[in-house]
Structure 1
Amino acid sequence: MPRPSRHRPPVSRLSRAVLRRFAAPRLNMREDYEKVRRLQRQLAALPAARYRPLDRQILAEDGSHGIPVRVFRPKEQRRRELLLFFHGGGWVTGDIESYTPACATMAELTGCVVASVDYRLAPEHPFPAGLEDCLRVARLLLDDPARAGVQDAEDIVLVGDSAGGNLAAAVSLRLREEQARCASRQILLYPVMHWDHDPQTSPFASVREHGQGYRLTSTEVQDYLDLYVPDPALRQDPLVAPLMATDLSGQPSTLLISAELDLLCDEGEAYGRALAAAGVPVRLHRVDGALHGFITLPRFSRPLREAYEVINAFLDEPDRSP
């Protein structure tokens, strides 16, 4: 599959400098992840919420804990699909509270019901704990679509951004491996697909070009991976790094949206091309000039509006699953 075409010239040096000024402050995620979690929740609470989400709990398979799921209904439901959403945050930060504004926006701009999964976070719960929570919710809803308020499992679409995109891809890989019922479609937003983000050794140019000074740095991604997967021997597992999978056949029809100024840009697009090579229907779209994490931006932002135009077009396409 060819690389996504650019619809305008590359970002100028001046624009890049301005974007860097708005990048997140550098943090030591190994020490500061709890501070980041608190700040995210505080920011999500401002301004006061104008939506009424519905909270549910799904019991873990072993009965050890409940998995919170927050359901968002649009004011006008225009589509029958349920978007099963896994949030980003490097498997370490983020939760249904901090992602509530983004999920409310997702429901309104797609006209779909959105169900956000509050999976367990590292380092308290390292791999595969968060993945197991996402799998549990996906299995239950796909096996019993009525739980999700839809008539057919075909109407359940997996969605995730960043680490959540990684989890969505891993859920699809695991379900296919188990020969279980799978989602027919998935939407992966600037996902983490590889295990190596060291500029000296990474196979991807975007890690070297955009791994410093922007919204997300290569050091932060490596710190997240270290916290999520403490055992280095497991980091090349396809359920951690889906690009390492040797068989991608039978995966859901995929929309993969990347951000031009994101160090994860190349690896996400590489996963899309690998899926296409395995016979999976794939649509790749790169949002030019966008930074990592744009799905959480205000509704008036250009990257977010562009992304939802593409997402809505994908949802309107007839099912092309293999």
Structure 2
Amino acid sequence: MNPLMRALVSLFSPRLNMREDYPKVRRFQRRLAARPVSRYRVFDRQVLSEDGTHRIPVRVFQPKEQRRDEVLLFFHGGGWVTGDIESYTPACAAMADLTGCVVASVDYRLAPEHPFPAGLDDCVRVARVLLDDPQRAGIARADQIVLVGDSAGGNLAAVVSLQLRAMGHPGATRQVLLYPVTHWDHDPETSPFPSVRAHGEDYRLTNTEVQDYLELYVPDPVERRSPLVAPLMAEDLTGQPDTLMITAEFDLLRDEAEAYASALKAAGNTVRVHRVPGALHGFIALPRFSRALRDAYEVVNDFLDQDPPARASSAGGAESAA
């Protein structure tokens, strides 16, 4: 990135104290995503939580032209602290139209009001319900469900896959991880990843903000090293879905995401990695004409065009949907 562009990005990306400013960020995101009601074809649904104490909202987006049978089960970004189905509605509507797939966006609980593992539990619950009863998603087969997530949502998608395997559940056969968080340390002095040092200060997401998000999501520093928070720490990555890993060139999370892809591949999984040149963190929310977005969706569509792998049988049997 040339010096002028770097200066402009820094100018229009004010630094935040996420510990204090997250409520303001939430309000700003919702105002920014305000939508004409008639523009999107959406249906709001709910899934009962595992313990029956609350309902998990799911917003379903119909593409203008449905070209594929897959349903993309989407977990939004926002550091586990910001973002929701309202603020991600434009991005999900674009995802539906640009892939020709139905998109189901999960409104999982956010920290710090609901710290780890509340949001993860919601995501696992929705994934299990739809995988066990795909007709609820309007499809015939569970292998037509693809897990997708960006940033913290990419982290959740990866961890949902790990959790399902640990439960003896066959899980999804494919996942698309967009610049996910996979490690617990984003301090430039101690991180093992060069991108944290190269891109953690000048761009729209800083290492300080990532650390603040993690501390709000997981108050216990010991728990942050758990594979359920930092999937790169998992000792066993076998049996994971076919994975498309998409990273951004100027993103501090780039190297840890690509390291996770390498670890998945080393464990015998099918993995494809695509680094979007010139892109910053969070580009999935850019306007549809943006070069980074078009680049990413060309790769996503090619990945979706591949035949899904065979789905393993469940060790524990199917769970009834509620």
Mark the runs of 5 or more structure 1 residues left unpaired by the alignment: 1-10
For 2:172, the equivalent position in structure 1 comes to 183
Which of 257, 269, 272 is 2:261 aligned to?
A: 272
For 2:306, the equivalent position in structure 1 comes to 317
One-letter amino acid matched to 1:174: Q
Which of 181, 192, 196 is 2:185 aligned to?
A: 196
One-letter amino acid matched to 2:11: R
2:33 is the counterpart of 1:44: yes
Deviation for aligned residue 1:61: 1.0
State the alpha-carbon separation in 1 of the partners of residues 176 and 33 from structure 2: 23
Deviation for aligned residue 1:47: 6.2
Q: Secondary structure at the match of 2:222?
A: helix
TM-score (norm 2): 0.94
Contact between 1:86 and 1:117, CA under 8 Å: does it hold in 2? yes
State the alpha-carbon separation in 1 of the partners of residues 37 and 66 from structure 2: 23
For 2:270, the equivalent position in structure 1 comes to 281
TM-score (norm 1): 0.94
Contact between 1:252 and 1:321, CA under 8 Å: does it hold in 2? no
2:2 is the counterpart of 1:19: no
For 1:147, the equivalent position in structure 2 comes to 136
For 1:62, the equivalent position in structure 2 comes to 51
State the alpha-carbon separation in 2 of the partners of residues 91 and 208 from structure 1: 23
One-letter amino acid matched to 1:31: E
For 1:250, the equivalent position in structure 2 comes to 239
Which of 210, 215, 221 is 1:221 aligned to?
A: 210
One-letter amino acid matched to 2:157: A
Deviation for aligned residue 1:179: 1.0
Contact between 1:143 and 1:181, CA under 8 Å: does it hold in 2? no
Contact between 1:72 and 1:113, CA under 8 Å: does it hold in 2? yes
State the alpha-carbon separation in 1 of the partners of residues 8 and 113 from structure 2: 37
Q: Deviations over 1:260-294 (max 9, x none)?
A: 11000000000001101111100000011111000
Contact between 1:127 and 1:228, CA under 8 Å: does it hold in 2? yes
Write the mapping of 1:30-179 to structure 2, written as runs, cut at 5 A. 30-45=19-34, 50-179=39-168
Which of 205, 214, 219 is 1:230 aligned to?
A: 219
For 2:320, the equivalent position in structure 1 comes to none
Deviation for aligned residue 1:117: 0.2
State the alpha-carbon separation in 1 of the partners of residues 55 and 224 from structure 2: 27
Q: Secondary structure at the match of 1:94?
A: coil
Q: Deviations over 1:5-47 (max 9, x none)?
A: xxxxxx334443343334x211110011111001100000056
One-letter amino acid matched to 1:210: H
For 1:4, the equivalent position in structure 2 comes to none
Deviation for aligned residue 1:318: 2.0
Q: Secondary structure at the match of 1:231?
A: coil
For 1:205, the equivalent position in structure 2 comes to 194
State the alpha-carbon separation in 1 of the partners of residues 258 and 14 from structure 2: 27
Q: Secondary structure at the match of 1:280?
A: coil
- What's the % identity of the aligned pairs? 73
Contact between 1:193 and 1:241, CA under 8 Å: does it hold in 2? yes
Root-mean-square deviation over aligned CA pairs? 1.3
State the alpha-carbon separation in 2 of the partners of residues 15 and 98 from structure 1: 26
Mark the runs of 5 or more structure 2 residues left unpaired by the alignment: 312-322
